[in-house]
């Protein structure tokens, strides 16, 4: 109950021909209502009608009455808590208005905003794929410049972004996602076909081969037919290569290094460049075994690559990647050179062992053996890896070196305390 009020009233002025629009008009109306209520007991008749003659009728409803109140007197205090008025049609549907029909238009036309182009629920045009409304006069036509059909959907692709409208002739959708429609170009971008002839799968893997101007091949392959060039180690995703660029043995060493460096920098999240051992492993697999053992030359080729990159954003990113990794490679080179000294000592001991273990052919065999590479003991992923000694052995003497069932080679390992391998054989990284 309103403070100090004996009766709370609801006024219904919907039957008045000219309802009050300001304070003075309301006071005039209230004076008439107050006179009509004199002597009435609203407890027994909470709803009543006041006849205003030619002006119409006013309906009254007592919402609350204070306890102890009796018939209405001049001392009764009223509080008007609500007024029921005719609904005002503020937004009219333009097409209905043209037909002489007054109908609410809740939808503003997205092409021409404001009240001039409102539409009702019957005349609004909302295309598939978006809740963007238009009136009938501004319903968009197909985006294709050679097509004049009315549009039926808005493309969900990343280029159109549900803004561009297209007709059914240009609608593309996947059978298990009919609610998402695309224009032909966006569909080809979102769901590119696999390059493999006859394959209907989506090409989710893009070829990352780069031209000298850092232009990517971008041919697409599905996961089944894609080939990954594992240049970053087994724990990271290798560079995608299509059928035309899969055979990396065709690449010259400098081009091979370019592909690795530029490919890592071209990714959205730049890959960490391989170690010197990683580059050596890749070079060896690409049939460049001699270069794989020449770590100084690998460093020279990396420096040459950085100097040859152009000044494009991709070229600068690739050069910066080399500069950031260079201190690590320098440290690795020092470790490799220090290991080579230890490796030469082990080879000298190996020659002595061969002379003593193979009396007849030992001296001639020992003279042909030389150091290829020595890998000291190291820890990888928490596992201690044994030291490895790689030696050059002529092809025609490898059987003598290994012995029957590799017995001699295992004897070398037991005496030297390292794994002994012939360079060029099946090699662990």
CATH (domain of 375):
3.30.300
Are 377 and 332 within one domain?
no
Two tokens, residue 53: 């003659």
> Given pLDDT bands bounded at 50, 70 and 90, which one contains residue 428?
very low
Among 35, 63, 84, residue at a domain's last position: 84
Whether residue 427 lies inside any domain: the answer is no
Are 107 and 174 within one domain?
yes
> Given pLDDT bands bounded at 50, 70 and 90, which one contains residue 426?
low
Whether residue 122 lies inside any domain: the answer is yes
Burial class (CB in 10 A: 0-12, 13-18, 19+), 82: exposed
Among 143, 163, 190, residue at a domain's last position: 190
- Containing structural domain, residue 327: 226-336
Are 46 and 71 within one domain?
yes
What is the structure's pLDDT at 70?
Answer: 81
* 31 HSE (CA, 13 A, CB side): 6
Whether residue 210 lies inside any domain: the answer is no
Are 332 and 367 within one domain?
no
Please, what is the average pLDDT of the chain? 90
* pLDDT tens-place string over residues 322-355: 999 999 999 999 999 999 999 999 999 999 999 9
Are 175 and 257 within one domain?
no
What is the structure's pLDDT at 178?
Answer: 84
Whether residue 428 lies inside any domain: the answer is no
Are 78 and 106 within one domain?
no
Are 298 and 355 within one domain?
no
What is the structure's pLDDT at 417?
Answer: 94
Element (H, E) at 355: helix 313-357
Are 383 and 319 within one domain?
no
Q: What is the pTM of this model?
A: 0.65
Are 329 and 230 within one domain?
yes
- Cα 139 from chain centroid? 32
* pLDDT tens-place string over residues 158-194: 999 999 999 999 999 988 888 899 999 999 889 999 9
What is the structure's pLDDT at 1?
Answer: 54
* Residue of 429, 419, 389 whose CA lies nearest to 282: 429
* pLDDT tens-place string over residues 194-233: 999 999 899 999 999 999 999 999 899 999 999 999 999 8
Instruction: Enumerate the H helices of 38-76 as residue ranges.
Output: none
**38, 69, 103, 121, 127 from 96: Cα distances, Å:** 47, 52, 6, 11, 21
Q: How far apart are CA 33 and CA 250, in angstroms?
A: 102
Are 77 and 157 within one domain?
no
Which residues, in sequence order, are CB contacts of 287 under 8 Å at separation 6+?
249
Counting the structural domains of the chain, the total is: 4
Q: Looking at beta carbons, which pairs linking 18-26 to residues 24 or more positions away fall under 8 Å?
A: 18/55, 18/56, 19/85, 19/86
């Amino acid at each position: 109950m309103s403070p100090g009020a004996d009766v709370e009233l609801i006024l219904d002025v919907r039957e008045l021909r000219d309802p009050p629009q300001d304070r003075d008009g309301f006071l005039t109306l209230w004076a008439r209502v107050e006179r009509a209520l004199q002597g009435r007991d609203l407890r027994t008749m909470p709803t009543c009608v006041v006849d205003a003659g030619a002006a119409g009728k006013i309906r009254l409803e007592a919402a609350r009455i204070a306890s102890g109140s009796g018939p209405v007197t001049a001392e009764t205090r009223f509080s008007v808590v609500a007024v029921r008025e005719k609904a005002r049609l503020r937004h009219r549907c333009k097409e209905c208005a043209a037909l002489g029909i007054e109908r609410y238009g809740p939808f503003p036309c997205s092409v021409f905003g404001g009240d001039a182009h409102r539409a009702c629920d019957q005349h609004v045009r909302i295309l598939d794929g978006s809740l963007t409304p238009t009136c009938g006069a501004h319903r968009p036509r197909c985006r294709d410049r050679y097509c004049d059909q009315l549009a039926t959907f808005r493309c969900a692709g990343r280029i159109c972004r549900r803004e561009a409208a297209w007709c059914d002739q240009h609608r593309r959708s996947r059978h298990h996602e009919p609610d998402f429609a695309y224009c032909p170009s966006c569909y080809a971008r979102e769901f590119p076909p696999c390059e493999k002839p006859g394959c209907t799968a989506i090409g989710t893997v893009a070829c990352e081969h780069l031209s000298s101007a850092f232009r990517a091949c971008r041919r697409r392959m599905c996961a089944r037919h894609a080939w990954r060039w594992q240049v970053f180690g087994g724990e990271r995703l290798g560079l995608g290569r299509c059928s035309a660029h899969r055979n990396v043995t065709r690449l010259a060493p400098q081009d091979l290094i370019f592909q690795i460096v530029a490919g890592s920098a071209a990714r959205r999240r730049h890959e960490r460049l391989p170690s010197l051992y990683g580059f050596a492993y890749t070079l060896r697999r690409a049939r460049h075994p001699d270069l794989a053992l020449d770590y100084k030359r690998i460093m020279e080729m990396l420096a040459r690559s950085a100097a040859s990159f152009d000044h494009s954003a991709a070229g600068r990113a690739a050069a910066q990647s080399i500069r950031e990794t260079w201190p690590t490679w320098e440290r690795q080179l020092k470790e490799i050179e220090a290991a080579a000294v230890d490796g030469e000592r082990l080879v000298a001991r190996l020659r002595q062992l061969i002379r003593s273990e193979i009396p007849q052919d030992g001296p001639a065999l020992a003279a042909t053996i030389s150091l290829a590479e020595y890998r000291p003991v190291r820890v990888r992923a928490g596992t201690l890896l044994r030291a490895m000694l790689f030696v050059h052995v002529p092809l025609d003497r490898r059987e003598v070196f290994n012995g029957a069932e590799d017995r001699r080679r295992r004897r070398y390992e037991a005496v030297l305390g390292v794994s002994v391998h012939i360079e060029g054989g099946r090699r662990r990284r």
